[in-house]
């Protein structure tokens, strides 16, 4: 006799091919519109479902977990980052948490290089001239940017994405430097031609471009604080495609306005969609709406990982992408 199909609630719209496969495998509740679920709707889902499939826009804290019903045994996150989920409390309540690591690596690394080029070559300023009809022809001194070949790139966080950024940057002729919680193996360093800095302060002070590629954890909150940002060269550029909370956004804004940092390319923000309005006014800043992983291929692969995690759990096994508290 076949086992009961799991009751699965998905909190956001997913690619059609992913939703179709979920309907084939599970008793799934999908969204009709692509907006975040209300707190009340999330609480109702937590009270009845076997599995919840949340995303970054859902805050799953102690209060919400306290309303979980006895059937809820898995939170299969649609995304690699889980800083919006209280993983420790979930595990204490007997609820497993899984994620989708590795899927967004190449797409996010592509976007990191795109932001580096956009800021250093002043692409948005040129685009604005063309869109407003204010361009009147070529001029020798117009929109002079900087060549990235030969510049020192400092990578903060040398995991999958950081290494993918390094591979791309080497192809552009950049010198690779990095700071990481753990030093890479010698053969990996050699392949990337990467120089390790044990001191983040010393690295930051010497880089031409700084790329943030570490996760948001209690130890990385405001890792780039006002003191450390002031160590950067006035000609340096900072790019963040990881998590906004790693940078003190107010301090960064003040320094950009004062021309103490040459420019910034940001895809993520400290307060989510509530972007510091003063950042929008600055011509030396490129702002994107958290689209670093936004490719069709990437979103489908994320969904496939979610399905594998749920299906493995339904079969009585440990989800392959289980998140372990303290190992983030």
320 lies in a domain? no
> Are 136 and 256 contained in the same domain?
yes
322 lies in a domain? no
Taking the CB of residue 39, how many other CB atoms lie within 10 A of it? 13
Cross-sheet strand order for the sheet of 7-10: 27-29, 7-10, 51-53, 74-76, 96-98
Domain that includes residue 112, residue range: 105-287
1 lies in a domain? no
278 CB-near residues (< 8 Å, 6+ apart): 253, 257
Encode pLDDT of 234-264 as tens digits.
Answer: 999 999 999 999 999 999 999 999 999 999 9
> Are 89 and 133 contained in the same domain?
no
> Are 267 and 164 contained in the same domain?
yes
Query: Among all chains, which residue has been given the structure tokens 């510049």?
Result: 151
> Are 267 and 168 contained in the same domain?
yes
> Are 110 and 99 contained in the same domain?
no
**Has residue 327 got a pLDDT over 60?**
no
Share of the chain above pLDDT 70, in %: 98
**Arithmetic mean of pLDDT over the chain:** 95
Query: pTM higher than 0.85, yes or no?
Result: yes
Residue 5 structure tokens = 């199909």
Over residues 147-161, the mean pLDDT reads: 97
55 CB-near residues (< 8 Å, 6+ apart): 11, 12, 77, 78, 79
CA distance 265 to 255: 14
> Are 174 and 93 contained in the same domain?
no
SS (H, E, C) 128-155: HHHHHCCCCCCCCCCCCCCCCCCCEEEE
pLDDT at 325: 76
Encode pLDDT of 288-306 as tens digits.
Answer: 999 999 999 999 999 999 9
pLDDT at 3: 59
Q: What is the CATH number of the domain that holds 78?
A: 3.40.50.720
């Amino acid at each position: 006799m076949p086992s009961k199909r799991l009751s699965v609630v998905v909190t956001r719209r997913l690619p059609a091919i992913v939703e179709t496969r979920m309907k084939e495998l599970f008793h799934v509740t999908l969204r009709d519109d692509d907006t975040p679920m209300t707190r009340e709707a999330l609480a109702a889902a937590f009270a009845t479902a076997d599995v919840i499939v949340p995303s970054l826009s859902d805050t799953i804290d102690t209060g919400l977990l306290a309303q979980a019903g006895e059937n809820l045994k898995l939170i299969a996150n649609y995304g690699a980052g889980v800083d919006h989920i209280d993983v420790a409390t979930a595990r204490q309540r007997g609820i497993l948490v899984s994620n989708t690591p590795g899927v967004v690596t190449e797409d996010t690394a592509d976007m990191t290089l795109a932001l580096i080029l956009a800021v250093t070559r002043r692409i948005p300023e040129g685009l604005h001239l063309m869109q407003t009809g204010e361009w009147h022809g070529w001029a020798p001194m117009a929109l002079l940017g900087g060549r990235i070949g030969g510049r020192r790139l400092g990578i903060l966080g040398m995991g999958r994405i950081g290494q993918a950024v390094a591979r791309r940057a080497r192809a552009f002729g950049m010198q690779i430097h990095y700071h990481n919680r753990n030093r890479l193996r010698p053969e990996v360093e050699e392949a990337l031609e990467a120089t390790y800095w044990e001191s983040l302060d010393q690295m930051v002070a010497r880089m031409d471009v700084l790329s943030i590629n570490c996760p948001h954890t209690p130890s990385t909150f405001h890792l780039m604080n006002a003191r450390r940002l002031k160590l950067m060269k006035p000609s340096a550029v900072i790019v963040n495609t990881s998590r906004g909370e790693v940078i003190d956004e107010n301090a960064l804004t003040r320094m950009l306005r004062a021309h103490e940092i040459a420019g910034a390319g940001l895809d993520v923000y400290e307060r989510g969609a509530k972007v510091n309005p003063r950042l929008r006014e600055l011509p030396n800043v490129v702002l994107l709406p958290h689209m670093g992983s936004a490719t069709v291929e990437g979103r489908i692969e994320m969904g496939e990982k979610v399905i594998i995690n749920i299906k493995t759990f339904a079969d009585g096994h440990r989800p392959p992408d289980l998140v372990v508290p303290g190992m983030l």
